[in-house]
Amino acid sequence: MLAAPATQIRRGGAGHAADSSPHHLGVVYAFTPLREQDLRLVRRWLLEPHVERWWNDGVKMPYPDAEIQEYRDAIQGHDPTYRYLALIDERPVGMFQHYRIADDPEYAAALSLGEDAVGVDLFIGEANLIGRGHGSPMLRKFLREVAFPFHRLDVCVIGPSMNNTPAIRAYEKAGFRPLKQVTVPGEPDPEFLMRLTAADLHSLQT
C-alpha cells in the first residue's frame, strides 16, 4: 500500500467524542470495515457542525470531498489507514480508524515516540448521541477487538486538538493518559498526545 501524507492519515484524532454520562448496560457496540456504499453516510456526518469543526483542517480541499476521496483510496488499498463504521445496536453512528504510526514517517518524526505504536482516531457522527456516554466504551472495544489485534503492538496513541476538551476527557475515561503536546506540520492546532498500553487496557473492566 502507498503511505499517505501526514495531513491525510489521522484527522480524526481531533474528532468529537464527548462522553459525559455513563454508558448504557446492554448496548452492543460493533465495527465493520468501511465500504464504498457507506461513503454517502460518512459524507453527511463530515458536514455535521460538531464533526466539521475538528475534521476540516483547511488543507484537504474541497471539504468534505477530498476527505471522502481519501477514504475511497483506503477502501481500494492505496492508503495504510483502516477505517470502520461504528455501530450501536446495529445502527451506524460514526467512524473509527487505526494505523501504524511508523507508516507515516513525517508524522512519526513529529511525534518522536521512541516506540512502535498504533494510532487511532474517531468521530461520532450522530449529533443526538454526543455526550451520551458511548465514546469511551466504544473506543476501548475498538482497541481490544480491532486495533491492537490487527497491528500486534502494545502501545496506542491518540492526538486530539489541544482545544478539544470534550474529546480529551472522553479519551481519559477510556484509559488514555497525557503524554505531551506536539506540533504537526500541516495541522492548524497542536496535538494533545495521549497514550494507552494494551496492559493498561486489559486492566480496565469494560
pLDDT at 18: 52
pLDDT at 126: 97
Alpha-carbon gap, residue 138 to 88, rounded angstroms: 9
pLDDT at 26: 83
Q: 6-203, which class in CATH?
A: alpha beta
Q: Where are the domains of the chain?
A: 6-203
pLDDT at 91: 98
Contacts of 149 (CB under 8 A, 6+ apart): none
Q: How far is CA 3 from CA 58, 78, 82, 110, in A?
A: 21, 8, 12, 16
Contacts of 35 (CB under 8 A, 6+ apart): 75
Q: Using 50, 70 and 90 to split pLDDT, how confident is the model at 12?
A: very low
Q: What percent of the chain has pLDDT over 70?
A: 87
The closest of 170, 10, 144, 142 to 86, measured between CA atoms, is: 142
The closest of 103, 169, 177 to 135, measured between CA atoms, is: 169
